[in-house]
């Protein structure tokens, strides 16, 4: 990456809408989004209850909001089956699948460097 002077950096990164990095990262950088994407990459056509079981400390509302956000950003697809009771399955879209190798690198880096970070203070 080329070094930019302060003014150029401010112009390039100040606006979330105009900055490709901030804009794209904001679409899946929530606390749970990457975990949900990883679950769907390992388990195609996954139901809400299965995702919830895989992440036991996420509330139903937060999981629902996370899934809606990922769907709105075209990273996952939601398929509703006309059955009684209704069945809904989630899966990665081609765009979501294209993100997974990059997230895989990030996860690998996180595992490799986890112990190098100071302990997180409880909030």
Q: What is the CATH number of the domain that holds 47?
A: 1.10.10.10
Q: Which of 20-24, 77-81, 115-119 tops mean pLDDT?
A: 77-81
Q: pLDDT tens digit string along 53-74? A: 999 999 999 999 999 999 999 9
Please give the structure tokens belonging to residue 109: 């880096």
In a domain, 57, yes or no: yes
Q: In this predicted model, which residue has the larger pLDDT, 50 or 85?
A: 50
Mean pLDDT of 38-55: 94
Q: What is the mean pLDDT of the chain?
A: 88
Characterise 121 by phi-psi region: left (phi > 0), alpha (psi -120 to 50), beta (else): beta
Query: Given 3-state DSSP classes, what are the helix, strand and coil percentages for the chain, each rounded to the nearest 5?
Result: 55, 10, 35
> What pLDDT is attached to residue 58?
95
Q: Is residue 71 in a domain? A: yes
Domain tally, the chain: 1
Range of the domain at 36: 27-109
């Amino acid at each position: 990456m080329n070094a930019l002077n302060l003014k150029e950096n401010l112009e390039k990164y100040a606006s979330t809408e105009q900055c490709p990095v901030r804009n794209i990262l904001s679409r899946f950088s929530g606390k749970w989004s990457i975990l949900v994407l990883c679950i769907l990459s390992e388990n195609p056509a996954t139901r809400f209850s299965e995702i919830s079981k895989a992440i036991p400390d996420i509330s139903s509302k937060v999981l629902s909001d996370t899934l809606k956000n990922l769907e709105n950003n075209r990273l996952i697809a939601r398929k509703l089956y006309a059955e009684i009771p209704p069945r809904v399955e989630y899966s990665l879209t081609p765009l979501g699948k294209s993100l997974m190798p990059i997230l895989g690198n990030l996860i690998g880096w996180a595992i490799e460097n986890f112990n190098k970070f100071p302990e997180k203070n409880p909030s």
